[in-house]
Structure 1
Amino acid sequence: MKTHQIEIQKFKAATNANGLVLFKVDALVAPKAPVEGIEPSSIISLTEANARVLMHLLKAQIAEFDAKKPKSRHGRHG
């Protein structure tokens, strides 16, 4: 497995299709040497501001998924 250091510079867009959320980003990607004794993993880093943008984009995409689900007509008591 190849490991990378991925630094998100900017989120440009988010969409969803077929159960996947897709993000268009500007990012710096560099190979990362695995640390001996630790499972090899890639690292994604982003600023607090970009983390807040990510949270906003995720909430919007999850809301779209929820809007596409059929509304249950059973189980509602009222």
Structure 2
Amino acid sequence: MKTHQIEIQKLKAATNNLHGQIVFKVDALVASREPIEGIEPSSLLVMTEQNARVLMALLKAQIAEFDAKKPKSRHGRHG
């Protein structure tokens, strides 16, 4: 597996696709990262606190969109 360090410069937009995925449009710096001996190889996603707050807001909006598309539960209703 190739490992990378992905530094988010700017989160531009988020959308849902037909496969139940959230797609982010971002500006990012991506650099190869050598795995450290004895540690499971992983890629790193790095961002500022401000970008983390934007990510949280975009995630909340996209999850709300998923929820809005789900059929309403009829549990507990009589009628």
TM range (shorter): over 0.9
The answer for unaligned runs of 5 or more in structure 2 is none
Instruction: State the TM-score, normalized to the length of structure 1.
Output: 0.94
Match of 2:21 in 1: 20
Match of 1:72 in 2: 73
**Deviation per residue, 1:24-69 (Å, 9 max, x gap):** 0000000000000000000000000000000000000000000000
Deviation at 1:73, TM superposition (A): 1.2
CA distance in 2, matches of 1:7, 1:75: 47
Task: Give identity over the alignment, percent.
Answer: 79
Q: Which secondary structure does the structure 1 equivalent of 2:35 belong to?
A: coil
CA distance in 2, matches of 1:9, 1:76: 48
Where in structure 1 do 4 or more consecutive aligned residues deviate above 6 Å?
none
Match of 1:62 in 2: 63
Instruction: State the TM-score, normalized to the length of structure 2.
Output: 0.93
CA distance in 1, matches of 2:76, 2:10: 43
